Amino acid sequence: MSDVQIGLSGLGLLLVFIALRIPIGISLIGVSFGGLWVLMGWKVAWGSLGLLPFQFAANWVLSSVPMFLLLGFVCYHGQLTQGLFRAARVWLERVPGGLAVAAVMGSAGFAAVSGSSIACSATMGRIAIPEMLKARYHPELATGSVAVAGTIGALIPPSIILILYGVVAQVPVTGLFLGGIAAGLITALGYVLVIMIRVKLNPALAPDVAIRTPASERIAALKDTWPVILLMIGIFGGLFSGVFTATEAGAVGALMAVVIALAKGTLTRARFSAAIVDTVLTTSTLIIIGIGATLLTRFLALSGSADYLSEQVLALGADPVLIMAGVVIVYLLLGLFLEPVGAMLLTLPIVLPIVDGTGFGLLWFGVILTKLLEIGMITPPVGMNVFVIKSVVGDLVRTSAIFRGILWFLVMDLAVLALLMLVPELIMYLPTRFG
């Protein structure tokens, strides 16, 4: 068996392990270690297992991941984001489907300090869904709008997915952050449009709220948004003015979140401990998957299978647009079964050379890839955001109803994806001008 055949066989075995529901990190490490052993002998395999994890974990940019995670979890447990929804609710109460629109806007605001799709869904689900159900909103609209709004968390910086992509693809994280802003805002506006159109066509989905909040109370509601606004000014102001790097921004943001939560009196010892535990667990999971992906990259490089696959695709002579369309379809299919980080790190060793060979920019592709991965967060059967919402609402709403609720938003997601691909300047404008 040739080296390339060994590499391809390893990829096939990896897919089998994933299909058997073996954790993706364990699958990546096991297959890569075994493949290196077969290719180069046990000394090289053991040497790689000792060296590559250190090289991956010691990456300076990667150190921002636990800091941004801590920032998001402190905001979540310290209840720094609740004022966002309350303010959005009173200011948007006259808009068709105002509560659902407020949930989308609140998620967009929370995304600027969390970097996590799941965190956005969990936080806004606990705040917004009870309010919407109380106002007699249709359960499908109430749960579906919050589930899809959570996907904004991975697009608007800071984004954990964009950071990991930057590390693997060797693309500046600051540029990815700038590109993600446009994609996130366009996605949020698309969701708002879906809500307003659906409610206009069927007012029964979101009954009009008879209560009209006085102007004085609406202005007062803005006061509760100061924690998130202060964090956004501190993080993005320092980041884009060059005071500190994207890596340092995570630490600065986490420190600011702790200080603000302590000043508000909402960060107890128990809540801070919960934020630390969540950060450690999530970081550990990401590092294990990342180590597995690094080993896989080495295995595929030594076997020559990654170059072989990319050369075969490019040798077809297909139009670069058609190749990108194929890449999009692959990721949409992977999103049905794999969580975003695992799907990304599993495929990048093969996909990056293909994308680079077509002439499409890797920075632009990073934002497109993040959008594709987040679509997978709301598609059955493994739509993680849907199951997060289900855990929030319990028996009040069936899982099937939540999936039905995201259907029209999913159509909008595909439309936004097409727009971002057809007009790459939407993503590249800010990185080109300020990156």
Q: How many domains does the structure of the chain reveal? A: 1
Distance CA 351, CA 345 (A): 10
Helical axes 269-303 vs 64-77, angle rounded to 10° = 150
Distance CA 200, CA 329 (A): 33
Here the tokens at position 145 are 């709008």
Whether residue 226 lies inside any domain: the answer is yes
Distance CA 82, CA 148 (A): 19
Q: What is the DSSP secondary-structure string of 245-308?
A: -HHHHHHHHHHHHHHHHHHHT---HHHHHHHHHHHHHHHHHHHHHHHHHHHHHHHHHHHTHHHH
Whether residue 166 lies inside any domain: the answer is yes
Position 426 scores a pLDDT of 95
Q: pLDDT per position in the chain (435 positions), as tens?
A: 788 888 888 888 888 887 787 888 888 889 888 988 988 888 888 888 777 777 777 777 778 888 888 888 888 888 887 777 778 878 887 788 888 998 888 888 877 777 778 778 887 888 888 888 888 899 999 999 999 988 888 888 888 899 889 988 999 988 999 999 999 999 999 999 999 999 999 988 988 766 677 777 778 777 878 888 888 888 888 877 778 877 788 888 889 999 999 988 888 999 999 989 988 888 888 888 888 888 888 888 888 877 777 777 767 667 788 888 888 998 988 888 777 888 888 888 888 988 888 888 999 999 999 999 999 888 887 788 888 888 878 888 888 899 999 999 999 999 999 999 999 999 999 999 876
Whether residue 276 lies inside any domain: the answer is no
Tell me the pLDDT tens digit for each residue of 324-375: 888 899 898 888 877 788 888 888 888 898 888 888 899 999 999 999 999 9
Question: Looking at beta carbons, which pairs linking 307-312 to residues 24 or more positions away fall under 8 Å?
Answer: 307/353, 308/4, 308/7, 308/8, 309/8, 309/350, 309/354, 310/350, 310/353, 310/354, 310/357
Whether residue 97 lies inside any domain: the answer is yes
Here the tokens at position 321 are 């647009």
Domain that holds residue 181: 60-267+304-434
Distance CA 126, CA 157 (A): 23
Give the amino acid at 73: F
Position 294 scores a pLDDT of 82
Distance CA 55, CA 51 (A): 6
Give the amino acid at 343: A
Position 433 scores a pLDDT of 84
Distance CA 187, CA 189 (A): 5
Give the amino acid at 234: G
Distance CA 308, CA 412 (A): 36
Whether residue 248 lies inside any domain: the answer is yes
Distance CA 111, CA 157 (A): 7
Whether residue 311 lies inside any domain: the answer is yes
Whether residue 24 lies inside any domain: the answer is no
Q: Half-sphere exposure (CA, 13 Å, Cβ side) for 406?
A: 27
3-state helix, strand, coil in the chain (%, to 5): 85, 0, 15
Do 292 and 53 form a contact (C-beta atoms < 8 A)? no
User: The whole model's pTM is what?
Assistant: 0.84
Whether residue 274 lies inside any domain: the answer is no
